[in-house]
Amino acid sequence: MRALIQLHVWIVALALIGASAACTHHAAPTRTATATPARQLPAGGAAGVQDGQATWYGGGHHGGPTASGERFDKNALTAAHRTLPMGTRVRVTNKHNGRSVEVRINDRGPYGNKGRIIDVSEAAARRLDMIDAGVVPVRVEVLR
């Protein structure tokens, strides 16, 4: 009887973990299939530059799936962009302090506010010194 109760506790715990994982930021990529895609940035040159706002994501998404199929690693230098191809390398520069970081696109987003053009990982946000600000003006440059 005790083993049966323990089994039920494990089943309920796993169900709750699965339900909470389904409620994360990364459940949203299916929305992009019906959304009108934004203009894709070409590689390099002035046309490969985009100005807007950046946000960051970390802790609660760590280990969860990304749109590329990878597991999200808050300590990796990665980012989410609405339209750039997976694997694209970009330089993100914080316009408030001039700090920049090179990241690899491996996810889709940001969702919501159209002024937000990129979501960077927590590690990238630390290099950009934007953890406390949360949202900062940035320049995104596609690298060859």
Q: What CATH number is attached to the domain comprising 62?
A: 2.40.40.10
Q: What is the DSSP string of 51-100?
A: EEEEEEE-GGGTTSB-TTSSBP-TTSSEEE-SSSPTT-EEEEEETTT--E
Distance CA 131, CA 123 (A): 9
In a domain, 2, yes or no: no
Q: What are phi and psi of 6, to 5 degrees?
A: -60, -40
In a domain, 58, yes or no: yes
Which residue is associated with the tokens 């491996």? 106
In a domain, 103, yes or no: yes
CA distances from 24 to 11, 17, 41 (A): 21, 11, 27
**pLDDT tens string 40-62:** 444 444 559 999 999 999 888 89
Selection from 119, 108, 102 nearest residue 84 by Cα: 108
Structurally, the chain folds into a number of domains equal to: 1
Instruction: Inform me whether the pLDDT recorded for 21 exceeds 50.
Output: no
Percent share of the chain, pLDDT over 90: 59
In a domain, 116, yes or no: yes
Query: 44: which DSSP letter?
Result: S
- pLDDT, mean of residues 4-15: 48
Query: 1: which DSSP letter?
Result: -
pTM of the model: 0.68
How many helices (H) and strands (E) the chain has is answered by 2, 6
In a domain, 59, yes or no: yes
In a domain, 4, yes or no: no
**pLDDT tens string 101-136:** 999 999 999 988 889 999 999 999 999 999 999 899
In a domain, 34, yes or no: no
**pLDDT tens string 79-101:** 999 999 999 999 999 999 999 99
| Domain of residue 85, residue span | 44-142
Instruction: Inform me whether the pLDDT recorded for 7 exceeds 70.
Output: no
